[in-house]
Amino acid sequence: MRRQMSFRMMFILCLTCLLFSLAVADSALTRYVISPNGATVNMRSGPGTKYSVVTRIKSGSEVEYVETEDGWCLVRYKGKSGYVDASFIQVSLPQKATNTPKPTSTPKVTSAPTLAYITSTNGKPVNLRSGAGRSYNAVGIAEVGKTVTVLEKGKTWSKISVDGQVCFVMTSFLSSTKPTITAAPEATSKPTTKSGTTSYITSTNGNPVRVRKGPGTSYSVIGELPYGTEVVRDGTYNTWAHIVSGDVSGYVMTRYLTTTKPAALTPTPAPTVKATATPKAILSETAWIVSGNGKAVNVRKSASSSGKVLTTLEYGTKVTVTEKGKSWSAVKGSFGTGYVMNTYLTFTEPEPYATPEPSFKSFTVYVYSSNGKSVRIRKGPGSSYDTVTTLDVGTALTVIGESGSWYHVQADGKSGYIMKIYTSEVKPATKDEQAMTPSWVPNAGSTVYIASTSAKVVRVYTTAGGQTADGKSYPAGTPVKVVSSGNGWVKFTVSGTTAYLPIENLAATGASAIPASTNRLVYYLTGTGSTVNVRRAKQSDSDTIGSFITGTAVIVMSRNTEEDWAYIQVGNAKGYVNLGSLKLKP
């Protein structure tokens, strides 16, 4: 009986020790998700923002840490596994502040700008963004230790100036003291093997093994060690080991090390026929898609330009190279496995592709706004860019380039961008000029234009004074020939018919006859006959919406030099004319 009790007690004691050791081991993997603003943090299916979101983790939540890969931590949370940005993973919960009033708004610096330094927990460069948030575009990067000027310091994001560029960076990446720059995070990589263990370089194909500056494929290659080289392994960082061999000191993956000297490999006999395009197996490497023109690259089913296209990958897409040949490499991604030419692969992350601005002949436009107010010129082609200056309506601009709906312009010695809708190829009247009522009397025999304040058609009269109208009407901008004028009325001929209008319904030029609010590329109809057809579509055999007198001023709303057509407005009518039917001056 005593023997049975003793056995039971020994069993319970061993089980208790085992459970205690497991609890201790498990606690060593505990980490905490902490976000600077207390917001939830995305857990993704892979180590990058392009991967799908598995779940969202509340700030302060406890997770189980597995390993770190390319700046992302593999963790387990509530039975799910995924990757979290390493900047959000902390070893312990931050201490809660006591008796500290919660700010009601993001504090901003009201004093003079101060100097600060870029810092990061992993020593990698930090993204600079166009606005205060991760949703804004990255406009550059700053290395750790870079000196910047803090213009406005907020709780989570700060506005800074670096090398003359104004942008935003997370406040947690700013330090008042210059940080110590290290080549690799060796301080946090505690060795898990005996210091100074003798090991040997090995590989399945006998190829040399790359030695990197840090424990990860994102670090640069500092050299290669041949198969069988003896090294001293003095530490392990996840799946990487720190080794020393002669004057070479760096990191290799642990699977390429062995504690027993590997046997020499029998060299593979040279092929008796010309090698095909079948890639030669190498180590799995992270690579990125690139192209000289920034366009997407084809991924093919076989290592040949005649192979079936499986998909296309955009410039900068990350892939895994599983095999590499002389001209083609096998790559793996969400699409499966396919082949890409080596010229379209790079093993260092590329900068975003900058589309070169097309060269074209410069021309002059004028600042225009429908309300007569001045218009902003910005530093870049978008309303999020800072203002360079503001220019009054009528200011001449030299167009030196274009980007989408923006013109790249120069004016008064300054360069910037303006939206195309705020420009006119015809100099518009200023606000003061629009408010002035010109006092003029048209001369007999001169050509003037029917005018309107609302762009509608104008009905003419058969007698002076406006008692009788003949029912005919013409769009603003129609040219007429003056016969005589007096008592505020003008007698004229239009299309061989004599008619009358008050002097305020006539203008000296076609451009001034059209209301400024509809601005405004004003051209004049021209042709071999007395009228010009305006059509419903960009086709010479399309139906016409009307025939208008040669010389009529019209508004050009858009034009396509490649198709040789322009979309115009005549009075209330809109349609298409051939570019040959328009001229800039009457």
Residues whose CB falls within 8 Å of the CB of residue 301, separated by 6 or more in sequence, listed in order: 307, 308, 309, 310, 338, 339
Quick one: DSSP state of residue 551? T
Q: For residue 579, which phi and psi values (nearest 5 degrees)?
A: -60, -25
What is the average pLDDT score of the chain? 79
Tokens of 300: 């093919």
* pLDDT average, residue stretch 45-58: 87
Average of per-residue pLDDT across 172-177: 89
What counts of helices (H) and strands (E) characterise the chain?
A: 3, 49
Within the chain, all domains assigned CATH 2.30.30.40 are found at 26-90, 114-175, 186-258, 280-346, 363-424, 518-583
Main-chain dihedrals φ then ψ at residue 492, nearest 5 degrees: -150, 170
CATH: 3.40.50.12280, 3.40.50.150, 2.30.30.40, 1.10.540.10. Which one for 26-90? 2.30.30.40
Tell me which fold the domain 186-258 belongs to.
SH3 type barrels. (2.30.30)
The pLDDT of residue 412 is above 70: yes
Looking at the domain 363-424, which fold is it? SH3 type barrels. (2.30.30)
Query: Residue 287: what residue type?
Result: A
Report d(CA 239, CA 255) in Å as an integer.
Answer: 8
Q: Which fold has domain 518-583?
A: SH3 type barrels. (2.30.30)
- Could you give the percent of the chain with pLDDT greater than 70? 80
How does pLDDT run across 431-474, given as a tens digit for each residue?
A: 555 444 445 788 889 999 998 877 678 888 888 776 666 668 89
Q: Where are the beta strands (DSSP E) in 348-405?
A: 363-367, 375-378, 387-391, 396-403
Secondary structure (DSSP) of 113-143: -EEEEE--TTS--EEEESSSSTTSPEEEEE-
| pTM (predicted TM-score) | 0.30
State the DSSP code for 182. -
The answer, yes or no, to whether residue 276 has pLDDT greater than 80, is no
> How far is residue 347's CA from residue 74's CA, in Å, rounded to a whole number?
23
Of residues 411 and 196, more confidence is placed in 411
Could you give the CA distance from residue 240 to residue 67 in angstroms, rounded to a whole number?
A: 11
| pLDDT of 283 strictly over 70 | no
Average pLDDT of span 497-517: 82
Q: 280-346 architecture in CATH?
A: Roll (2.30)
Q: Where are the beta strands (DSSP E) in 405-454?
A: 406-411, 414-419, 423-424, 447-450
Q: Is a pLDDT exceeding 70 seen at residue 173?
A: yes
Q: Determine the 3-state secondary structure of 186 from DSSP.
A: helix
> What would the pLDDT profile of 90-119 be if each residue is shown by its tens digit?
877 766 544 444 444 444 444 467 888 998
CA 59/CA 214 separation, integer angstroms: 29
Q: Given this model, what pLDDT does residue 428 score? A: 67
Encode pLDDT of 376-403 as tens digits.
999 999 888 999 999 988 889 999 888 8
SS3 17: helix
Class for domain 114-175, per CATH? mainly beta
In the structure encoding, which two tokens stand for residue 408, read together? 């790249």
